[in-house]
């Protein structure tokens, strides 16, 4: 009996061992190494010198880092203002029984989420082109003059936000749809009997009951926004945005590490970015009432 009990306790860990091993090697250890490296001055392969918090002191006096942080924050706010309300409204509309062809629309909207970001960035160079681009063609239908989306500094972040909206709307719809399926239909039926209209149902039933899903989507959107790298790097070859107006923290980290070969300073940027994401997430949890539960 003792042998059987011991086996029952060991077997789950045996099956978890491959995942735990990969997780420690490729997740935990790189984080520890990056934190240790942030206190080093790396002069070459295999040569480094401990410099304490020098990298962090230089970091917060670095104008390019501050500028990239503000740009990344601007991009993150833009994605939150679009990738939360628009997918939520579309998810509610596609969840209605009376919506014709909702399965087709749901599939079509989700397809961009399966597309490679490299392909998306390349295609959006053509879509946002100042001459012959699809976006300018649509604006022309409303009498708006063509915009130089990829050439003007002030349009760098809006261009990235448009790409993100097209790319991630379908995924967020899936998240919100999963939350809508957990709401008992009897609640809606009782509210309709009491005379509640569509807007009242959405405000007083749908929003409160899918609040955990909204908090989750906001959190992953914040994390994804501050970690954005592929979109600016592909949409603007090498991440060279006009006037560096679209320089994000992740792109700046990449340049510091693999162009300037300043690995210690790049590690400090990565640690600082992780701390910023953690702090912003905590603030968001506090405002959403997450800690009250």
- Answer yes or no: is 93 within a domain: yes
pLDDT value of residue 84: 93
Q: What is the CATH number of the domain that holds 112?
A: 1.10.3720.10
- What is the SS3 string spanning 105-173? HHHHHHHHHHCCHHHHHHHHHHHCCCCCCHHHHHHHHCCCCCCCCCCCHHHHHHHHHHHHHHHHHHHHH
Q: Which pLDDT score, from 0 to 100, does residue 45 have?
A: 64
Percent of the chain with pLDDT over 90: 32
Question: Is position 94 within any domain?
Answer: yes
Does the pLDDT of residue 288 top 90, yes or no? no
Is residue 161 within 8 Å of residue 79, measured between CB atoms? yes
In a domain, 145, yes or no: yes
Bigger pLDDT: 90 vs 293:
90
In-domain check, residue 192: yes
Residue 11 domain-assigned? Answer: no
Task: State yes or no: pLDDT of 44 exceeds 70.
Answer: no
pLDDT at position 197 is: 85
Alpha-carbon distance of 41 to 53, in angstroms, equals 11
Is residue 283 a part of any domain in this protein?
A: yes
Give the residue-averaged pLDDT of 136-144.
87
- Asked if residue 121 is part of any domain, the answer here is yes
Q: pLDDT category, 46, cuts 50, 70, 90?
A: low
Confidence of residue 64 (pLDDT cuts 50, 70, 90): very high
pLDDT at 48 over 70: yes
Residue 249 tokens, joined? 């923290």
Residue among 282, 280, 247 at smallest CA distance from 64: 247
What is the value of pTM for the model shown?
Answer: 0.86
At 157 the pLDDT is 92
Whats the size of the chain, residue-wise? 293
pLDDT band at residue 196 using 50, 70 and 90 as cut-offs? confident
Residue 72 near residue 158 (C-beta atoms within 8 A): no
Please check whether residue 82 is in contact with residue 224, taking contact to mean a CB–CB distance below 8 angstroms: no
Q: How many Å apart are CA 61 and CA 57, to the nearest integer?
A: 7
pLDDT at 264 over 80: yes
Q: Please, what is the average pLDDT of the chain?
A: 87
Question: Does residue 293 register a pLDDT over 70?
Answer: no
Range of the domain at 167: 62-292
Would you state the pLDDT for residue 202?
A: 87
Least confident of 115-119, 148-152, 264-268: 115-119
Nearest one of 284, 76, 85, 72 to 169, comparing CA atoms? 85
Q: How far apart are the C-alpha atoms of 72 and 118, rounded to whole Å?
A: 20
Mean pLDDT across the stretch 142-163?
A: 89
Overall domain count for the chain: 1
Residue 290 has pLDDT above 80, yes or no: no
């Amino acid at each position: 009996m003792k042998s059987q009990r011991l086996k029952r306790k060991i077997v789950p860990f045996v099956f978890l061992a491959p995942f735990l091993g990969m997780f420690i090697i490729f997740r935990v250890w790189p984080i520890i190494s990056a934190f240790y490296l942030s206190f080093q001055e790396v002069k070459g392969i295999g040569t480094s010198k401990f410099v304490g918090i020098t990298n962090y002191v230089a970091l917060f006096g670095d104008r390019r880092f501050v500028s990239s942080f503000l740009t990344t924050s601007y991009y993150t706010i833009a994605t939150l203002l679009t990738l939360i309300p628009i997918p939520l409204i579309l998810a509610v509309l596609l969840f209605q029984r009376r919506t014709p062809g909702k399965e087709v629309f749901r599939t079509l909207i989700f397809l961009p989420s399966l597309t490679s970001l490299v392909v998306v960035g390349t295609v959006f160079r053509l879509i946002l082109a100042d001459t012959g681009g699809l976006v300018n063609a649509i604006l022309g239908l409303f009498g708006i003059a063509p915009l130089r989306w990829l050439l003007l500094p002030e349009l760098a972040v809006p261009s990235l936000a448009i790409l993100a909206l097209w790319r991630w709307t379908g995924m967020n719809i899936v998240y919100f749809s999963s939350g809508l399926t957990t709401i008992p239909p009897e609640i809606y039926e009782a509210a309709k009997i009491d005379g509640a209209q569509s807007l009242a149902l959405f405000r007083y039933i749908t929003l409160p009951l899918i609040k955990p899903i909204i908090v989750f989507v906001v959190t992953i959107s914040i994390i994804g926004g501050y970690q954005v790298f592929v979109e600016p790097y592909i949409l603007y070859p090498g991440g060279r945005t006009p006037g560096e107006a679209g320089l994000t923290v992740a792109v700046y980290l990449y340049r510091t590490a693999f162009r300037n070969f300043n690995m210690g300073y790049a590690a400090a940027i990565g640690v600082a970015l992780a701390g910023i994401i953690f702090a912003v997430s905590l603030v968001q949890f506090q405002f959403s009432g997450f800690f009250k539960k």
